[in-house]
Chains A and B, each alone.
Chain A
Amino acid sequence: MARVIVVTSGKGGVGKTTSSASVSTGLALRGFKTAVIDFDVGLRNLDLIMGCERRVVYDLINVVNGEANLHQALIKDKHCENLFVLPASQTRDKDALTEEGVEKVLKELTHMGFEYVVCDSPAGIERGAVMALTFADEAIIVTNPEVSSVRDSDRILGILQSKSRRAIEGREPVREHLLVTRYSPKRVEDGEMLSYKDVQELLRIPLIGVIPESDDVLQASNQGLPAIHLKDSDVATAYLDVVARFLDEDRPLRFVNYEKPGLLKRLFGGK
């Protein structure tokens, strides 16, 4: 069975799509046949972030409705061998998504030999978000170190525990991972921002990684390139660490300590 990973948050704009793109790429780079699905029906962005927006012919709703099959709808990623994108519909609304339809798509992906399916959830707790988490085996809860994001993440965790199939059928619960994004160690040091430890203490789920705030992310989106491809950038390194930890490898946490820049750097500019 393909392992289904939902990337969700409750709160909007915290980095779900960015993370879905990078994590699915990371898994594919490791050799796993991976699909990433956009569940934000009507407001699709995954295709833009992945750089395949001009190759979208059929989408998830077309497949759910039987208007196209998966082979026609899946878009092969141009940067990465093992990665395929299933975009959302831009024109329909979320009522077109049905639980049976989604289940059928996931079963077919398994038959096609996919090992991981990453579900990029929309923001909120309504249908699209619930559909994205219903069949999840694992969940990455993307959270900004900020109070309303933490509250919304907590809410989505509750929904995951009550509305996922694993919960309803009384099976082993969905494995939860906390991903703290847009982290600024300097602002934490200055007392302006929650630390990742505070966030973890409030949400009480295992931490899978911390992604630093970075201008690189915007650049990457504009280029249609998942951030994990930006060689040697902090963000790419952080996402590679996340994928490693997801695969049960140990990695020390990076980019969480604020190092005051040396005198010269402070004199001549720098963070």
Chain B
Amino acid sequence: MADAAPQGKLIEFKGASLAVMTAYIRDADAVRLADALHMMLGGMPDFFAGEPAILDFSQLGGQPERVDWTALISLLRRYQLQPVGVRRLPPHLHDGARRVNLALLGDDVPAAERPITPPAPAPASTAEVPPLAPVAAGAPADEPPRAPTQVVERPLRSGQQVYAKGGDLVLLAGMSPGSEVIADGSIHCYGPLRGRALAGARGDTSARIFSTNFGPELVSIAGVYRTFDRGIPQAVAGRNAQVRLSGSDNLHTLEIIPLQND
């Protein structure tokens, strides 16, 4: 070899900080979680696009004896979320987490983390749906930059999906039944709103859905969703309407309000 390898470290360690998302898991049952994720994300297979996440169990309900870690990890991976560690996990579950190589992170809440009100299950008007414990995405220490508004000019057809990452979405020609739109911000639909619309997909409870011709299959804001199998309420069917979260302190009720037509 002409050049000798430099004498010195072959690997070096430096301190770094990483903006990472926290997923608050309230129900670790993989089957129920799969349902909740499907409802929230409309089955978009690679929603998180490989983002790392810390699984926070401080809000875990039901005090389960054990967690099926393999099922849980594979479910989250299916949405391309990379679980890197767990936090505030009850001690009796530590071994299981270690066995699937999840780091047991410290229990203190980083100062910069902003608590986001976790979305609650769907309101009473859809009584036939059992209350789910959806996974809430908390805001990381540095929020991703707001992306410019995405505009879709042609009608969105059955089977098509659009995801406006980091911003709002505008549909200029409506959407058909069987289509899906997801936005981290708000959704503005000019034309018939007939498919599934999920706003505030990363937990932004201030996101709203606006439409000039209201008639969706499902609407959701920050995980709080509503379906319409008993029909669209008369006051808003086919009219200008907006959907937003309300409830003074806990923001877990979905309101659908007609807008003035003139």
Bound-state CA distance A215–B242 (Å) is 49
Contact B178 A154 (CB under 8 A): yes
- Binary contact track A144-155/B, C-beta < 8 Å → 1, others 0: 000000010011
> Does A80 touch B at the CB level, under 8 Å?
no
Contact A151 B157 (CB under 8 A): no
- Please give the distance in Å from A130's CB to the nearest CB on chain B: 13
> Does B160 touch A at the CB level, under 8 Å?
yes
Contact A158 B173 (CB under 8 A): no
Instruction: Give every chain A residue within 8 A of B156 (Cβ-Cβ).
Output: 158
- Please give the distance in Å from B244's CB to the nearest CB on chain A: 28
Contact A154 B158 (CB under 8 A): yes
Instruction: Give every chain B residue within 8 A of A155 (Cβ-Cβ).
Output: 157-159, 178
> Does B176 touch A at the CB level, under 8 Å?
yes
Instruction: Give every chain A residue within 8 A of B177 (Cβ-Cβ).
Output: 151, 154
- Binary contact track B177-204/A, C-beta < 8 Å → 1, others 0: 1110000000000000000000000000
Contact A151 B178 (CB under 8 A): yes
Contact B157 A157 (CB under 8 A): yes
- Please give the distance in Å from B197's CB to the nearest CB on chain A: 17
B155 and chain A: residue at smallest CB distance: A204
> Does A223 touch B at the CB level, under 8 Å?
no
> Does B154 touch A at the CB level, under 8 Å?
yes
A10 and chain B: residue at smallest CB distance: B158
Instruction: Give every chain B residue within 8 A of A161 (Cβ-Cβ).
Output: 154, 157
B154 and chain A: residue at smallest CB distance: A161
Bound-state CA distance A88–B159 (Å) is 29
Contact A162 B155 (CB under 8 A): no
> Does A202 touch B at the CB level, under 8 Å?
yes
Bound-state CA distance A161–B176 (Å) is 14
Contact B158 A204 (CB under 8 A): no
Bound-state CA distance A159–B178 (Å) is 13
The tally of residues in A whose CB lies under 8 Å from a CB in B reads 11
Contact A151 B158 (CB under 8 A): yes
Q: Which of A151, A162, A173, A204 sits near B160, CB closer than 8 Å?
A: A162
Instruction: Give every chain A residue within 8 A of B173 (Cβ-Cβ).
Output: 204
- Binary contact track B143-176/A, C-beta < 8 Å → 1, others 0: 0000000000011111110000000000001101
A173 and chain B: residue at smallest CB distance: B154
Instruction: Give every chain B residue within 8 A of A159 (Cβ-Cβ).
Output: 159
B160 and chain A: residue at smallest CB distance: A158
Instruction: Give every chain A residue within 8 A of B174 (Cβ-Cβ).
Output: 204
Instruction: Give every chain A residue within 8 A of B159 (Cβ-Cβ).
Output: 155, 158-159
- Please give the distance in Å from B245's CB to the nearest CB on chain A: 31
Most buried by B among A157, A158, A161, A202: A158
Contact B176 A202 (CB under 8 A): yes
Bound-state CA distance A162–B179 (Å) is 14
A167 and chain B: residue at smallest CB distance: B154
Instruction: Give every chain A residue within 8 A of B176 (Cβ-Cβ).
Output: 154, 158, 202
Bound-state CA distance A158–B177 (Å) is 12
- Interface residues in A113-156 (C-beta closer than 8 Å to B): 151, 154-155
- Please give the distance in Å from A156's CB to the nearest CB on chain B: 8
- Binary contact track B25-60/A, C-beta < 8 Å → 1, others 0: 000000000000000000000000000000000000
B178 and chain A: residue at smallest CB distance: A151
Bound-state CA distance A187–B88 (Å) is 65
- Please give the distance in Å from A126's CB to the nearest CB on chain B: 13
A162 and chain B: residue at smallest CB distance: B160
Q: Which of A158, A162, A173 sits near B158, CB closer than 8 Å?
A: A158
Bound-state CA distance A173–B154 (Å) is 10
- Interface residues in A184-223 (C-beta closer than 8 Å to B): 202, 204
Instruction: Give every chain B residue within 8 A of A204 (Cβ-Cβ).
Output: 155, 173-174
Instruction: Give every chain B residue within 8 A of A162 (Cβ-Cβ).
Output: 160
- Binary contact track B202-217/A, C-beta < 8 Å → 1, others 0: 0000000000000000
Q: A157-B155, A204-B173 are in contact. List 14 more A-B contacts (CB 8 A).
A: A151-B177, A154-B157, A154-B158, A154-B178, A155-B159, A157-B157, A158-B156, A158-B159, A158-B176, A159-B159, A161-B157, A173-B154, A204-B155, A204-B174
When A and B form their complex, which 6 residue pairs have the shortest distance between CB atoms, in order from nearest?
A158-B157, A154-B158, A155-B158, A158-B160, A154-B176, A155-B159
Interface residues of B (CB under 8 A from A): 154-160, 173-174, 176-179
A-B contact pairs, 22 of them (CB 8 A): A151-B158, A151-B178, A154-B176, A154-B177, A154-B178, A155-B158, A155-B159, A155-B178, A157-B155, A157-B157, A158-B158, A158-B159, A158-B160, A158-B179, A159-B159, A161-B157, A162-B160, A173-B154, A202-B176, A204-B155, A204-B173, A204-B174
